[in-house]
Structure 1
Amino acid sequence: MRMHHIGIDSSDLARSLAFYQDIIGFDLVERMELMGEELVFLQLGSTRLELIVTKEGHIRANSHIHLAFEVDSLFQIMEQLVRKDIKILEGPQTLENGWRNLFVQGPDGEWIEFIELEN
């Protein structure tokens, strides 16, 4: 078994696409409508993200799921976040195992973790 995609509800598809493409680096793979929802699939390496927009534009209840992206340089990501006026919610911090991380919030309240593994 392997992960196919991570699904996130979006209240504003243009804003979500700008965030995940411009900030994170995802590429648009596919758009479709299915069962009353607009679905947009994005790809970054082997990670596939599904943005879901309901006809009513409603966001379902928040969950405790977060997305974690491994980065080569946490410092470079921090510089990019500051340039784009993205607020850091937690971190940067060094974990007990030597990894360094920080968290930001995505356009619909989802938590995004950037993590630099110990070199």
Structure 2
Amino acid sequence: MSETDLSAHHVGITVSDLESTLPFYRDVLGLSVVDRFTVSGDAFSDAVDVDGASADFVHLEADGIRIELVEYEPEGRRSPATGLNQPGAAHLGLTVPDLDSFVDGLPEDVPALSEPRTTESGSSIVFVRDPEDNLVELLER
């Protein structure tokens, strides 16, 4: 297989409550919902290696990148929170045209790790958490 055989399809985020997490991505971040569906059955259970699995999915669009929120049944055990510097830690990165204005417009209940900061690379960044503590990096180049 060569590099040209691969193309990105989506970035997935597993959540415990899809209906309470979706408004953050749709309403707060302004991403468009492009699809909603449920998957179950033996083939799905085998593919995800979870006995009796079914899952509800929402696909959102962010400038050509599909973001998949998924809620599984049965729900697995929650992973311990990880800091950004810990192996296995993950985050979603989204660019915004004006970081300070975007952050000023966030609801008060959206926690940030710090105020926006400009790094040595010249990018301004801030990390926020979704309702389930998943990290989202907002950046302005």
**Is the structural similarity TM-score above 0.5?**
yes
TM range (shorter): 0.7 to 0.9
2:69 corresponds in structure 1 to 51
Aligned pairs for 1:44-83 within 5 A: 44-58=62-76, 61=79, 63-81=88-106, 83=107
Aligned partner of residue 75 in structure 1, secondary structure: helix
Q: CA deviation at 1:22?
A: 0.7
What TM-score do the two structures reach when normalised by structure 2? 0.74
Query: Which structure has more strand as a fraction of its residues?
Result: 1
Q: Percent identity?
A: 31
Aligned length: 116
Contact 2:36 2:57 (C-alpha < 8 Å) held by counterparts: yes
Contact 1:10 1:59 (C-alpha < 8 Å) held by counterparts: no
Q: CA deviation at 1:85?
A: 2.5
Aligned alpha-carbon RMSD (Å):
1.7
Structure of higher RCO (CA pairs closer than 8 Å, 6+ residues apart): 1
Larger radius of gyration: 2
Q: CA deviation at 1:108?
A: 1.9
Deviations 1:56-79 (A, max 9, x none): 344653641111111110111111
Deviations 1:31-86 (A, max 9, x none): 111131111111122011111111234465364111111111011111112x3431
Question: Relative to structure 1, is the Cα distance of residues 13 and 86 closer, same or farther in structure 2, using a 3 angstrom cutoff?
Answer: same
Contact 1:6 1:49 (C-alpha < 8 Å) held by counterparts: yes
